[in-house]
Structure 1
């Protein structure tokens, strides 16, 4: 087969979305592409331009989203030379959310990040119609499969003060597992908009079905009090705090609003949002809330001498019986994927923790009786955790092994929480030891490259010192894939994390360790205990931009993420030449604080779980890659798949 210039395909416009929809949205149902239109309406409400949002689900599975905001601009775009509303619906990375100036943008604290919102809705719909009312006129245009089929046209007059946007989309069922939008999820999404924007009227109508209306006058406090099942041990604590002008740490207006309460029994309610976007998978803002609650309650307990001897409060003790609603406002939030279900922004931990801790500590001291009941809940949870740890220790006493001398073990005996990092080299191991959480994280430095164990018998494994140390440290023996689950009974860590340099040598060591675990510890992999750490390859030092944008350090996993950040910074007005880019030569080059923040902290790191393929599907590939007599097969595979094994430059 010839390989020429004609072999290279270039996807233009919305073709990338239709070609790989899973990169831009969830494909189980069309809820997320409709959410993009709802989010745009909510952003208008956030800016104070919208008082009503109505959503209608039609019999043919199409959905209409209507608001009384300012209406999408219809004039000709100065650069694209087509109506601006057409740009919004047909161009990726286009929108009003990139303008984050102090007060010029209604989208200053919008959830939009990538600028691919309603353009994805358009791309994945068989038809999309949009009507815009503004400046005394009503305009309409229509699309099919992302392309314009009815150009923008003025269809009538409108009252001069009237404005708004109506979007009706027919999601294309070929892109989704089911064409039906789960009504419960849609209701929860719309209810959250009303909850976070007090006074906003939100309605949902199902054609030939029920209608729902939401409008929360008292916001979070009323909502959380209605949601918790049992009587709280203390009143709901509801407040908010945002950065003021001149704040040296955070931009003007960024901060959080929250409602939190503790119950001794019953179900829990936990909801978090970032710039009105629901984050059902949590993220770094929830980590900041947990940290602030832990610091405030631990301080109160210590000040009032409430802690029994030997009891040390941890985050899960304080939060075990906590229900909360958290709404964060921050510039340029970084989410996990376009569906925005989890917040990844490292700054959110410090932002929420700083905004919440002082008000919570003040509230606890103003309500000492309630605070003592909350502290008592946390103390009882800590005592129960300590008793569970003692039981684990007794089970291990009959099979204690002499742990490797180079292992820096953790203090906790709670297997589910404990982690061990298999680190490449003594230098990186030193940084990891200094930067780790000694309570939960163990470090085992590895000297040199581990033995290729693909064709090594289990009885000969321990002749290799590195393999011996790994097996003894994790507490389980080599076994076959057919072994019972009981082989993991003495496992000492819930997570085994392979942490190597982000270069070719690091990848080689990672492959050798994967070979060891897949071949000789398959139950460990099948049970989901094996992970890859993802240290960054680049650091971008971004200069400050006035009082409201302090200097930033941004870490990028690879060259593609580095270029994506540079593009994003360019849109923010940062000149590329002003950004200092440094490339880490290895983990050992990072100081302990950097290694903790980027690679080891549960709040800010990115771990990749290693999965076990079904029916032993990986064995032929592993044999071809790792077998000593398979050099010819490896060469043929590399020639065919060379693009997959290119090194980062």
Structure 2
């Protein structure tokens, strides 16, 4: 890996105060000093103390080096064209994958969408330059206890792996991520119980068989809204507006705010989405896919929570854990928020 200065300083924050006599600037924008004497002075004053500190704090130095190397690798990957895998002369990317135009994984996103109808809306709502869509049919296999060699027997898991360009791997492995085709892989499912189940099945797949993608921060969960509040216009100063609520608690907060604004109940209406397929492309774009207005949660395992996380997955997804799940439901069942 060839490390450049940008790879090191791209994520550095520092404050430098220097008084320079007769400053010389580069170009019309004057955003860079070109005084050679000032450069030598700052290098002399800061170089040796920094080197001394790095020698005294070896672990911190290693982390800085790792960050720089990772940044350099990402830069090299972004400029290198990733060829699609070929089988007998034909691209083997899944036929139902609607790919994006960009090949820069720093901006590319893949949405794993529940169902073909929602997949159709997502294709119309996406930014075709950077967003790709892979519709999934039905519920993905519970892969928690599936051997890696048997994974590709499931068509959906095969398609996901081929689309993202990374092979399944274990927690202790060092997989080759050079073929990774998307910087963000987002799970997009309905805001209901079935959607939550699909979310858990996909999270199980990534946690168990693609742990490096989770630890590197590539896995996300999209959060489509459950409710829409249509507020009528109030004169020229207040035009009609649409407000989206993620869940019942947020809806209650919105209604409370409208009441404090002096809005009567006949001035707004509440509608509930049955699923993503019911949203038109504009709504899906505004609420779930556009980077400026969407809610996208990054999937992370907190420090020190590896064992606890593993225990939760074993209890929820393990085949021999029915008794533990029953005991958990009996103990915690009254806290569940369900639609009856």
Q: TM tier, shorter chain?
A: 0.7 to 0.9
The answer for the alignment partner of 2:318 in structure 1 is: 627
The answer for the alignment partner of 1:639 in structure 2 is: 330
* SS, match of residue 80 in structure 2: helix
Q: Does 1:594 align with 2:283?
A: yes
The answer for the alignment partner of 2:247 in structure 1 is: 558
* SS, match of residue 132 in structure 2: strand
* SS, match of residue 528 in structure 1: coil
Of 604-613 and 495-504, more deviation after overlay is shown by: 604-613
The answer for the alignment partner of 2:188 in structure 1 is: 499
Residues 35-46 of structure 1 correspond to what in structure 2 (within 5 A)? Answer: none
Measure how far apart 1:569 and its partner are. 0.5
CA contact (8 A) 2:85 2:92 kept: no
Structure 1 gap segments, 5+ residues each:
1-228, 235-262, 267-386
Measure how far apart 1:578 and its partner are. 2.1
CA contact (8 A) 1:566 1:576 kept: no
Measure how far apart 1:644 and its partner are. 4.4
Q: Please list the CA deviations of residues 497-545 of structure 1 after superposition, one character each: whole Å capped at 9, or x if unmatched.
A: 0000000000000000011000100111011111110000001000111
Q: Does 1:572 align with 2:264?
A: no
Normalised by the length of structure 1, the TM-score is 0.40
CA contact (8 A) 1:480 1:522 kept: yes
The answer for the alignment partner of 2:51 in structure 1 is: none
Q: 1:265 to 1:596 in 2, by over 3 A?
A: farther
Q: 1:439 to 1:455 in 2, by over 3 A?
A: same
Q: Please list the CA deviations of residues 470-516 of structure 1 after superposition, one character each: whole Å capped at 9, or x if unmatched.
A: 000000001011112x4322111000000000000000000000110
Q: Does 1:414 align with 2:104?
A: yes
Residues 144-183 of structure 1 correspond to what in structure 2 (within 5 A)? Answer: none
Q: Does 1:533 align with 2:231?
A: no
Query: How many residues in Structure 1 have an aligned counterpart in Structure 2?
Result: 270
Counterpart-to-counterpart distance in 1, 2:253 and 2:207: 34
Counterpart-to-counterpart distance in 2, 1:601 and 1:418: 13
CA contact (8 A) 2:105 2:180 kept: yes
* SS, match of residue 445 in structure 1: strand
Q: Does 1:489 align with 2:181?
A: no
CA contact (8 A) 2:85 2:93 kept: no
Counterpart-to-counterpart distance in 2, 1:599 and 1:501: 11
Q: 1:460 to 1:564 in 2, by over 3 A?
A: same
More strand by share: 1
Residues 253-332 of structure 1 correspond to what in structure 2 (within 5 A)? Answer: 265=32
Measure how far apart 1:264 and its partner are. 5.6
CA contact (8 A) 1:407 1:443 kept: yes
Larger relative contact order (Cα-Cα within 8 Å, sequence gap ≥ 6): 2
Measure how far apart 1:399 and its partner are. 5.4
* SS, match of residue 581 in structure 1: strand
* SS, match of residue 422 in structure 1: strand
CA contact (8 A) 2:140 2:156 kept: yes
Normalised by the length of structure 2, the TM-score is 0.75
Measure how far apart 1:617 and its partner are. 3.0
Q: Please list the CA deviations of residues 115-162 of structure 1 after superposition, one character each: whole Å capped at 9, or x if unmatched.
A: xxxxxxxxxxxxxxxxxxxxxxxxxxxxxxxxxxxxxxxxxxxxxxxx
Q: Please list the CA deviations of residues 151-191 of structure 1 after superposition, one character each: whole Å capped at 9, or x if unmatched.
A: xxxxxxxxxxxxxxxxxxxxxxxxxxxxxxxxxxxxxxxxx
Counterpart-to-counterpart distance in 2, 1:230 and 1:578: 59
Alignment partner of 2:200 out of 484, 489, 511: 511
Counterpart-to-counterpart distance in 2, 1:568 and 1:432: 31
Counterpart-to-counterpart distance in 2, 1:230 and 1:599: 45
The answer for the alignment partner of 1:339 in structure 2 is: none
The answer for the alignment partner of 1:392 in structure 2 is: 80
* SS, match of residue 420 in structure 1: strand
* SS, match of residue 618 in structure 1: helix
Q: Does 1:608 align with 2:297?
A: yes
Measure how far apart 1:230 and its partner are. 6.2
* SS, match of residue 617 in structure 1: helix
Q: 1:648 to 1:496 in 2, by over 3 A?
A: farther
CA contact (8 A) 2:105 2:183 kept: yes
